[in-house]
Amino acid sequence: MYYSLKFRKLQTGLCLLVLVGAPLLAHNVKGVNHPTLAMARAQSPNANVNDFPIPTDSFNLSIVCFKIRNTSPDDSRITAVGLELPGSLSGFKLLTPTDIGFELSEDPGTVPGFPGVVLDFALVTGRNFAGGRPNLGLPPSNTPTTFCVMGPFDPNLSIEKLLDNVYIRFQRVGTTGELSDVGIWDKRLPQ
């Protein structure tokens, strides 16, 4: 009996060590102006490993999939998701989902509050990153939406590394829905 109890404690301790020690590769995104009202989570398809772009057979193109989940309170909506990638790239195409109101733009315009940022592409619900249609945006949810994009991604750069420079546009922010914001990875927020 004593031996069994001691074994169970050891087993429980090892399980906790594995859970605590396991890397969680995800990006908590917070609004620059309203960090407790505009929040999201961006991650690669597998949150516990480094995922890399999947090469295709043609023209040095790869496929990158990533998950976006709106974790905001109230009815804040994500109306755009943009990436600023190393270099100057073009030739991106949204593969999935194509039926929820987001379209890919390689000329998404400026990012409010970030005048020097030039997005390589953005998934938008309107004409540009700053605009958008809240009714088509991602509402707060316990389930992420997976986006897959084909383009000239560097096959040696992990998806999590690509997400270091994700920009997310929030509209209908706050209890009255009158605010808007741009969210970035919380590790990049000014301290």
pLDDT in tens, 42-100: 999 987 778 999 999 877 899 999 999 999 999 999 999 999 999 889 999 999 999 99
What backbone phi and psi angles, to 5 degrees, belong to 29?
-110, 130
- Single pTM value for the model: 0.86
Sign of CA dihedral 133, 135, 140, 143: negative
Beta bridge partners of 169: 80, 182
Q: Rounded to an integer, what distance in angstroms lies between the CA atom of residue 104 and that of residue 49?
A: 27
Two tokens, residue 95: 């593969």
pLDDT tens digits, one per residue of 108-161: 999 999 999 999 999 999 999 999 999 999 999 999 999 999 999 999 999 999
The structural domains of the chain, ordered by start, are: 24-188 (2.60.40)
Helices (H), the chain: 2-21, 159-162
What pLDDT does residue 60 have? 87
Structure tokens at 40: 């999201």
Per residue in 151-177, pLDDT (tens digit) is 999 999 999 999 999 999 999 999 999
Report the distance separating Cα 65 and Cα 172, nearest Å: 26
Q: For residue 72, what are its two tokens?
A: 């905001």
